[in-house]
Amino acid sequence: MPLVIAIDGPAASGKGTLAKRLAHHYGLPHLDTGLLYRAVALLMLDAGVSLDDTDQAARTAGRLVADQLADPRLRERAMGEAASRVSSVPGVRAALLSWQRKFAGGEAGAVLDGRDIGTVICPDARVKLFITASPEERARRRHRELAGRGEETTLAAILADIRARDARDSSRSAAPLKAAEDAVRLDTTELDAEEAFAAARAVVDRAREH
């Protein structure tokens, strides 16, 4: 039986790091679904199209190909904010739904992380995790990450961005950010990377035993 691991959570909760480590540990392909929305936003910006043009956003999402997920600009802070805007467009989410489900439908399974994996993309996943942490801790993590890449910003600005994204992602009409009813919630505020990985791995191993 394929092992599909659905990992959801807000920005900078650590879900991406966990997803990559779990994928490596269990020998599964990994998809950071946030990159899909970042890529849509970047393609629109490169084309000089407003992110508020919902029709063009949906068309851009429908033309997305895997090669476009490798652009290093997708990891920049500004792209996270832009992605949050286009991800609220129902047409964008509909266009990317089959893309994500096809990725998850491999023979062995897959690890996907995002905001609606357990609720919309893979509701039948064998393992569902909802990773969270306090906004302040998430802001500190994101600040360290950006500083390590040489991006200049302030902790206060990042915290404001995170709170704004949380509000937008949780209140949008299309696939709002929320934990699936059968997801295991993992708060990583007080956990280091190794402790979070051990806790997540224990959840997956219990599911594999049944």
Residue 16 assigned to a binding site: yes
Whole-number Cα distances in Å, 61 to 17, 90, 93, 114, 155: 25, 11, 8, 16, 32
What is the tens place of the pLDDT at every residue in 59-68? 999 999 999 9
- Report angle CA 177, 108, 10 to the nearest 5 degrees: 15
- Answer whether 83's CB lies under 8 Å from 44's CB: no
pLDDT at site 55: 96
Instruction: Tell me the whole-structure pTM to 2 decimals.
Output: 0.90
Residue 48 assigned to a binding site: no
- Answer whether 41's CB lies under 8 Å from 51's CB: yes
What is the tens place of the pLDDT at every residue in 68-103? 999 999 988 889 889 988 988 999 999 999 899 999
Residue 58 assigned to a binding site: no
What is the tens place of the pLDDT at every residue in 161-209? 999 888 888 887 777 888 999 999 999 999 999 999 999 999 999 998 8
Residue 105 assigned to a binding site: no
* Widest pairwise Cα distance in the chain: 51
109 φ/ψ sector (left φ>0, alpha ψ -120 to 50, else beta):
left
Domains and CATH numbers, the chain: 3-208 (3.40.50.300)
